[in-house]
Amino acid sequence: MIRQMYDYYVKPYLGEKGQDLVEYALLLAIVVGIGYLIWDNAGIKASLTTIFSNADEVTSKAATAASSGAASSGA
């Protein structure tokens, strides 16, 4: 009787939790691996580096212009 209760109630809930976690971890590893291959081979890395360096240059120029404009206005 106790064995039947264990098999019916406890075993299904405790026995498969680890399996689901492993499946999600493997799926995450596959997605990350594919993402890395796309990042490395498609030239996205170089494009993003260019975009962020251009953005840095623009914001630096804007900060310089803003600080020189504030200094010349007497603030």
Give yes or no for a contact between 32 and 38, defined as CB atoms under 8 angstroms apart: no
pLDDT 10s digits, 21-74: 888 999 999 999 999 888 888 888 888 889 999 999 999 999 998 888 766 665
- Check residue 46 and give its pLDDT: 84
State how far the Cα of 75 lies from the Cα of 69, in Å rounded to an integer: 9
In this prediction the pTM is 0.44
- Check residue 28 and give its pLDDT: 96
DSSP class per residue in 42-67: SSHHHHHHHHHHHHHHHHHHHHHHHH
Q: How many CB atoms lie within 10 A of CB 9?
A: 10
